Structure 1
Amino acid sequence: MKKSLFLLLSAVIISCQTATKNEETASLPDLVQQKSKAIVEANGQKYRDLNHNNQLDKYENSSLPIEERIDDLLSQMTVEEKAGIMFINGTGVSTTAQPDSKEGVEGPAARMPSIVENMNDREMNYFNIWGIPEDPAVFAKWYNNAQLVAESSRLGIPVTIASDPRHHFSNNIFAMSAKGFSQFCETLGFAALRDEALMKKFGDIVRQEYLAIGIREALHPQIDLATEPRWARIAGTFGEDAELSAMLVKAYIEGMQGTILDENGIATMTKHFPGGGPQKEGLDPHFSFQKGQIYPGDNFDYHLIPFEAAFEANTAAIMPYYGVPTDQTDENVAMAYNKAIITTLLREKYNYDGVVCTDWGLISDVPMGPDVVWKARAWGVEELSEVERVLRIIEAGCDQFGGENKPEHVVQLVKEGKLSEERIDISVRRLLRQKFQLGLFDNPFVDETKVNDIVGKPEWQALGAKTQQEAMTLLKNDENILPLAKNTLKVYIENMDSATVAEYAEVVATPEAADFAIIRVNTPWYPADTKNPFALGFHHGDLDFKGEEKEKIMKLLKTVPTVVDIYLDRPAVIPDIAAASKALIANYGASDKSVCEIIFGNSAPKGKLPFELPSSMKAVEEQKTDVPYDSKDPLFAYGFGLVYQ
């Protein structure tokens, strides 16, 4: 072995020619030869001996068809190994780049097992990354080290690293840190721009940055329709129009995956099937105070239109949502427990054979502090035990459990004869197929030396800033006061960085001393009545300003001509503010600099509203939850947007 390793490190790549097809193997990539510790040489061939048996197994042979490789690997896997691949949970990335370390890991990941613990103790090899170091190169090194740990396991099955969105300028609770990455507007901004080519370009940039550091599965795009304006997760959608969402999601997936998923692509997990938008009163089924979504307009099929486009684009995975599709199927149970949703609709009607992964936390309760327990989202089957819930979800047609690390439940079910190994093989095959398609068995490593040349490229950062700016929607511009003259005015500001604004105008301390005021506000929200600290951060509740906050804004608008910039993560109800402002702009994730670029004319707003802005909360309450743009006399209609004159 020492001699073989010496030859590996010093020799040029050998093109392998063999007598039989089973012995064929392509030359190993340079990067694999540099990183892998499992390479052996036999009969003049080099290959990764992942199961350490000193022979070229079919699953190790890159020249064979994927299904043949899967057959071979499945035949070698234990029940425990099969169960492990069916679970994906969160993990943190240590600042030391060591996968068995938690140094520098913060938040929930700090309280969870390390990736190495889950790999060794639970045979897991799918992981969702949460907090990461600010330097993407540290992530890349950590990732390579994790793949080396995987390579040393009994069968050498590589890990798949997944992530929620990381490329948006956002303070939304669901947006992961974008530090180090290119920062674009949120998906609502892309909906406002309605640019299919730009959407695909964005997907391609995300693909390249993810590839550079080792993220190979995207827990996005989110294509629920924003037909209930109070819903807390609208910021991640493309708005309320199904056809627009369908157009954009297809371009998004093509940019991420390509036409055929391969070693150059990122597997997309499109969510949340069959559409999570019509939540009763906008309350989110992450929590027990809201377990079902409703369809008073009998409009269930409308919410499937974007998913049909995702299927055309061959999305690699689908994630069902938490809620109960109230009175839409033969039983009122949550989506991932619902056989009519997963098997009858998704598998049979749409012939979908990709991975179906549940949303996070359907099996286990989570303690959240003294006297606070976050209940598992087992809506409609709360009486079932954890093991029974696992069985019910598999029987419904799902393949993987998100946010859980309980493979022992699957093992128990198989050993007790309640679940056949043949059934779990169906799911494991889908999960292995994705790993093979991504090329992870042949080259799971990334080039750590190239990370900083790829991630956050200046031209991508510039394009990201451009989307933040041009996605903005000009809702009002009295007397065409915008754009304001640069470097000639005195401005009073609120909720902005004074140093940034000072590049465009003189910043003064009081409204009375100003020619104009510029204020940035967010769409209002009001916490739900709960003790769950995570739930308290969701943007639930009414959409209008109230009490002292509203009085303060209105006083300013009456004191000095004011430009109002509002962040729309949900459709705000702002008739009084719209009437009293001199100019009104909506953004979908934008920096202070991007806002100034628009206000002072270095860039121009092009966005059209991706949802209507209702005229009152009464109009919101009278809307049908599942029907788009149906509020009475909206303040601004869907698709509204002015341009500079």
Structure 2
Amino acid sequence: MARSDRPRRAAATFGVVALTSAALTAGAGAEPPRPSGIADTLAKMTLEEKVGQLFVTYAYGGTPDTAHPSNRAEFGVDTPAQVVQQYHLGGIIHFTWTDSLHEPRQIAELSNGLQQAALSSGAGVPLLIGTDQEQGLVTRIGEPATQFPGNMALGATRSPADAELAAAITGRELRAMGLNQNFAPSGDVNVDPANPVIGVRSFSSDPTLAAELTAAQVRGYEDSAAADLAVSASVKHFPGHGDTSTDSHTDLPVIDHDRQQWERLDAPPFQAAIAEGVDSVMTGHIEVPKLDDSGEPATLSPNVITGMLRQELGFQGVVFTDSLKMDGVRQQHPDARIPVLALKAGVDMMLMPFDVRAAIDGVLAAVRTGELTEERIDRSVTRILELKERRGVLADPFVDPAAVGSAVGTPEHLAQAQRITDRSTTLLRNDAGVLPLAQPPARLLVTGAGDGATAALAESIDRRGSRSTALPTGLRPTPQQIDEAVAAAGRHDLTVVLTNAAWSAENAAQLDLVRALQQAGRPVVAVAVRDAYDAGHVEVPTWLATYSDQAVAMESLAKVLFGEIAPTGALPVSVPDPGRPGQDRYPFGHGLTW
């Protein structure tokens, strides 16, 4: 039965499990769930506890009881557990920079400890524990968790089955570590090649392909027969962040799409996700003046959230804001007002407010003055509790840390990830007939952007019998580094040069590196390991695109170089020719093979 045919109404009862410390370590329940209806739970909650459920933030530390000075500075308490208890939070989000994500067992134990803190505080409602494991460019949990090359690489495979499987593997591994929410997939259609914040996080510049793969990933994350194997997906960034050259982290982008353009370009992935029963939608901090003349970012716009998302598209699940620390939402209002305006717009959960205490107090004050009603708060809390029940979080929020090793980064998952990635590598140009390498060169130079990428490719090459040298030159190579790379190329039979967002003005020195290597007289293979748009900016007889600089993508690249597999990827975007405005250097769907 398709997800769109499934009832979204939650079951009538749920239970939570109180664990002893010994059981917590094992991750097993000490007693069976005690049924309690969502309406009964809501009735027992204080206003402060209800408002706490509307907020998701981070906390610093790798254990629930880690005392971290940043917790004291930002939240007025010392440990992650105390942050959860102090504010009665509805959710926690993890990042590497919060010192929360080290290795799978530690993450599982942290998750259990935070859930215990939630159950021992206030209404005893378990947490949504989430992260942004989009894969590719935005990956919070690294190896040994299974790594995939990201959305645009999946777009190059044209395979909904691959997209669904990648999401299913990612989701199951997250759930094994105690995370039940993934802020993915990005449903943005990357219309603007100069987009600084989406790019390869998008499946495609084609709305039909983006919609098809967005729906597939929602199925992968959420469509499991066992609730404890699925995670809650969150499609983002509504109403669509793909056609802008402004980063909403630092400014408020303005997207000038009219209604017809929005319906054709931006809406399809969100419509597809909603049809699949996606649990939540994340808003974008973007202004859309032709769709909403309020001057507000979409996150704070009733016309966008209640009008377009809820009434027009029919979405009745949980609406998240993007991070409220981002400048795109903080330009027009004090931080204490932003959550109030978001709730009035139709949002349910506020992510990472700039000042959690001020944000909560702002909502409480709005209820007490009558600007917001408690019934309005109850509607959002009910949606949140229903989501938690649907994903099995209310019934049993704990995991078994001892079982993580057999669930995360398994040989089967790694092999599936490699097979999917092998189908994404795209050959854009092979004019000199260098590829596939008929005779493996004795000495190969791997240079260009990325310490990790150059090292990973060099290791893959060495395993194939050639001797390689990794010479990373970074995102902005200096003239001295370029000279060193050219000199090294003269001592090798073939040079593979990796580019990463070389199309941007700040990284344009990478193009100088590629030109200098090309002029050195030795064979050169250029590889765009992030945006395929790089290939439009410099003439090289051999160009490939991997859409990712991760080791799994570098292994696929090595397979193509040495002729072990034929390239089968097709461009999921068109690559413009900067010298001919309005013309493409490589059209959508382009991809060579042999």
Instruction: State the partner residue of 2:248.
Output: 285
Instruction: State the partner residue of 1:481.
Output: 434
The reply to whether residue 254 of structure 1 matches residue 219 of structure 2 is yes
Distance 1:104 1:178, change over 3 A: farther
SS in 1 for 2:308: helix
1:195 corresponds to which letter in structure 2?
S
Runs of at least 5 residues in structure 1 that lack an aligned partner in the other structure: 1-22, 49-59, 63-68, 363-373, 527-540, 620-631
SS in 2 for 1:494: strand
Q: 1:555 aligns with which of 513, 516, 521?
A: 516
Alignment of structure 1 residues 49-448 onto 2, 5 Å: 60-61=34-35, 69-94=37-62, 98-102=63-67, 114-131=79-96, 132-165=100-133, 168=135, 170=136, 172=137, 174-232=138-196, 233-258=198-223, 262-279=227-244, 282-288=245-251, 290-295=252-257, 299-302=261-264, 303-361=266-324, 375=327, 377-378=329-330, 382=332, 384-404=333-353, 405=356, 406-448=359-401
SS in 1 for 2:162: helix
Distance in 2 separating the partners of 1:138 and 1:521: 35
Distance 1:226 1:39, change over 3 A: closer
Report if aligned partners of 2:435, 2:561 keep a CA contact under 8 Å in 1.
Answer: yes
Superposed CA offset, 1:517-571 (max 9, x none): 2221222155xxxxxxxxxxxxxx58xx74x543332232131121111123362
Report if aligned partners of 2:503, 2:534 keep a CA contact under 8 Å in 1.
Answer: no
Tell me by how many angstroms 1:151 deviates. Answer: 2.1
Q: 2:467 aligns with which of 499, 502, 506?
A: 506
Alignment of structure 1 residues 609-624 onto 2, 5 Å: 609-616=571-578, 619=581
Instruction: State the partner residue of 1:523.
Output: 501
SS in 1 for 2:412: helix
SS in 2 for 1:182: coil
Distance in 2 separating the partners of 1:421 and 1:27: 25
Distance in 2 separating the partners of 1:126 and 1:115: 12
2:312 corresponds to which letter in structure 1?
K
Distance in 2 separating the partners of 1:104 and 1:378: 26
Report if aligned partners of 1:231, 1:570 keep a CA contact under 8 Å in 2.
Answer: no
1:636 corresponds to which letter in structure 2?
Y
Which range is displaced more, 464-473 or 302-311? 464-473
Superposed CA offset, 1:601-628 (max 9, x none): 2233211001011010662xxxxxxxxx
Tell me by how many angstroms 1:256 deviates. Answer: 0.8
Distance 1:483 1:376, change over 3 A: closer
Distance 1:389 1:521, change over 3 A: closer
Which range is displaced more, 506-515 or 559-568? 506-515
Distance in 2 separating the partners of 1:514 and 1:90: 48
SS in 2 for 1:476: strand
Instruction: State the partner residue of 2:475.
Output: none
Rg larger in structure: 1
1:101 corresponds to which letter in structure 2?
T
Report if aligned partners of 1:134, 1:179 keep a CA contact under 8 Å in 2.
Answer: no
Distance 1:375 1:514, change over 3 A: closer
The reply to whether residue 588 of structure 1 matches residue 537 of structure 2 is no
Superposed CA offset, 1:138-170 (max 9, x none): 11111112222222223221111011016x3x4
Of all paired residues, the percent bearing the same amino acid is 23
Distance 1:39 1:247, change over 3 A: closer
Report if aligned partners of 1:80, 1:408 keep a CA contact under 8 Å in 2.
Answer: no
Report if aligned partners of 1:469, 1:604 keep a CA contact under 8 Å in 2.
Answer: no
Report if aligned partners of 1:92, 1:109 keep a CA contact under 8 Å in 2.
Answer: no
Normalising to structure 2: TM-score of the pair?
A: 0.84
Distance 1:104 1:114, change over 3 A: closer
Which range is displaced more, 252-261 or 116-125? 252-261
SS in 2 for 1:356: strand
Distance in 1 separating the partners of 2:258 and 2:348: 31
1:312 corresponds to which letter in structure 2?
A
Aligned length: 544
SS in 1 for 2:348: coil
1:308 corresponds to which letter in structure 2?
Q
1:234 corresponds to which letter in structure 2?
G
2:547 corresponds to which letter in structure 1?
Y
Distance in 2 separating the partners of 1:36 and 1:553: 53
Tell me by how many angstroms 1:407 deviates. Answer: 1.6
Instruction: State the partner residue of 1:638.
Output: 588
Report if aligned partners of 2:115, 2:126 keep a CA contact under 8 Å in 1.
Answer: yes
The reply to whether residue 456 of structure 1 matches residue 409 of structure 2 is yes
SS in 2 for 1:576: coil
Report if aligned partners of 2:274, 2:315 keep a CA contact under 8 Å in 1.
Answer: yes
Instruction: State the partner residue of 1:531.
Output: none
SS in 1 for 2:337: helix
Tell me by how many angstroms 1:296 deviates. Answer: 7.2
Distance in 2 separating the partners of 1:304 and 1:560: 48
Report if aligned partners of 1:261, 1:437 keep a CA contact under 8 Å in 2.
Answer: no
Distance in 1 separating the partners of 2:195 and 2:343: 29
1:514 corresponds to which letter in structure 2?
H
Distance in 1 separating the partners of 2:528 and 2:76: 37
Tell me by how many angstroms 1:267 deviates. Answer: 0.7
Which range is displaced more, 548-557 or 604-613? 548-557
Report if aligned partners of 1:33, 1:39 keep a CA contact under 8 Å in 2.
Answer: no
Superposed CA offset, 1:391-436 (max 9, x none): 2211111111111223222112112222110111001100111111
Report if aligned partners of 2:49, 2:122 keep a CA contact under 8 Å in 1.
Answer: no
SS in 2 for 1:91: coil
Distance 1:357 1:285, change over 3 A: same
Report if aligned partners of 2:499, 2:530 keep a CA contact under 8 Å in 1.
Answer: no
Distance in 1 separating the partners of 2:246 and 2:328: 17
Distance 1:129 1:450, change over 3 A: same
1:241 corresponds to which letter in structure 2?
D
